[in-house]
Amino acid sequence: MKKRIILILSIISLILTFVFAELFSIYHFCSIPTLLTSLYLISIFAIFDYLFIFVTYVIRKLVKKQKIQIKKIISLILLFLALLLILLFLIVINVDWLNWYAYSSPFYINIIVRSIEFLLPSIVLIAFSILLIKKGNKK
């Protein structure tokens, strides 16, 4: 039963990914995606899939009337925020790539600065949430 639910939710999140991408003109059907477009689609799919898995986890705990640990909920929310930061990094890098002639600094300096702004906090959030999950499992 769990495998079916995960499969159905993954298919729904895949459909939502392409609908979202078409809605915001990230990807149009029947076109060949670039590497950046593929990264957009993968990160959007990961966000939708993670959101569905998070919601089913909470619903499953509520249906079984089990206690939901606050540390686990916080760690799951932090992982979600890390995924959003990674998507935001990709979007900002694309905007910088389109406008890199307007900046006085070379493009690789913009990538380094944007990496520090978005990727470093997402890595810290992922590490912190993994530590919270491990502490929650030890008890």
How far is Cα of residue 118 from the mean position of the Cα atoms in its chain? 12
Contact 126, 136 (CB under 8 A): no
Q: Write the burial class of residue 78 (CB in 10 Å: 0-12 exposed, 13-18 middle, 19+ buried).
A: buried
- At 98, is the pLDDT very low, low, confident or very high (cuts 50, 70, 90)? low
- Predicted local confidence at residue 133, as pLDDT: 78
DSSP 103: S
Q: What would the pLDDT profile of 48-79 be if each residue is shown by its tens digit?
A: 888 888 888 888 888 888 887 788 888 888 88
User: 39 φ, ψ to 5°?
Assistant: -65, -40
Q: Which amino acid is at 76?
A: L
Mean pLDDT computed over 108-120: 77
User: Which comes out higher in pLDDT, residue 95 or 9?
Assistant: 9
- Predicted local confidence at residue 32, as pLDDT: 80
pLDDT at 27 over 80: no
Residue 56 CB partners (closer than 8 Å, separation 6+): 5, 9
Distance CA(55)–CA(29), nearest Å, equals: 29
Distance CA(123)–CA(102), nearest Å, equals: 30
Residue 14 CB partners (closer than 8 Å, separation 6+): 45
- Predicted local confidence at residue 101, as pLDDT: 54
- Predicted local confidence at residue 61, as pLDDT: 86
pTM (predicted TM-score): 0.69
pLDDT at 100 over 70: no
